[in-house]
Each structure stands twice: as structure tokens, then as C-alpha cells.
Amino acid sequence: MLLSVLRTPKLRGDLAKVLAGDPSGVVGPLRQLSWLSDDAEFSVAGLVEAQNQLKQLMSNQGILLMNRIHLFPQSDAEREAMLRAISERVFENLGSRTWLTEAELTARLSMLVDDAAEIRRYLIDRGLILRAEDGSRYWRGDLTAETASTVTTA
């Protein structure tokens, strides 16, 4: 809810007024925030809880705290950020190996999204992941050319 409020200019302005101590005119979604009382009084404990939740969502494990991704954001910047987060997440905890097989990549993507094949295509099209010519191995797009050539021949 807080993220929605922060994305909306009018609500963001209303929130700023409340935080500055002026609850006049606060209506709608702001009333639903757990750290504002019915009379728009500010609750420090509620705000701290909201802040802790945002910190968790922004952590490396944040993507695991959310439900599976069913829809993509409309803006290119938000869609790009989501795809970057997905690509980083699927290549975590590989040990010394830097690549995944197609089956491994698909399994990891399937934990996060409804259509793993579609997301894999988006990731490849944007260069966030690369693949061997035969499609047998996939690795992160930010690997150096030297590392990538080692990956494809290993």
C-alpha cells in the first residue's frame, strides 16, 4: 500500500503534509496505512514496521517474500529493474559454477514467474543472460568475454 501511495504524486504530497504534522484533507488510501490513525495521527511504531517491511523487500531475498510475478510493470524502467532482479536471483547460490542448464534455468524461473520460457526470452533479448550457441548453458550477461568463453567450453 505504501509503495502505491509513494508512486502517486497527489497521495505523496498528502503523505508529506501528514508527516509534517498537517493531517487536514487526508482522505482515501492514506487512511488505510497502518501507521496513520483514523484521525490521521502519526504512529511511529507503525512507520517503523512499514520501513522494516520495505527493507526486507529491497534485500537480496526480497523477491522471495512476494508472490509469484503474474504481471509486468508498464514502465520500461520498472520492467527492466524487475528483469534484472529476476536474472540476479536465478543465478544465486551456484557455488563455483557460473552457468545453468536450460532445465535448471527454467526450474528457477518457474519459481518466480508463470511463463518461464517467455521471461527467459526477455532476459536473453535484453542481454541480461547469455546462452551457448547450442542452448545447453546459460550465464549472466555481465560476465566478461573471457569468463563467458570459459563457460561455453567447460
* pLDDT, tens digit, 9 for 90 and up, residues 118-127: 999 999 999 9
> pLDDT higher for 78 or 124?
124
Greatest Cα pair distance in the chain: 66
**Would the pLDDT of 149 be above 60?**
no
Number of H helices, E strands in the chain: 8, 3
* pLDDT, tens digit, 9 for 90 and up, residues 23-67: 666 666 665 565 666 555 656 666 677 677 777 766 766 655 666
| CA distance linking residue 132 with residue 123, whole number of Å | 14
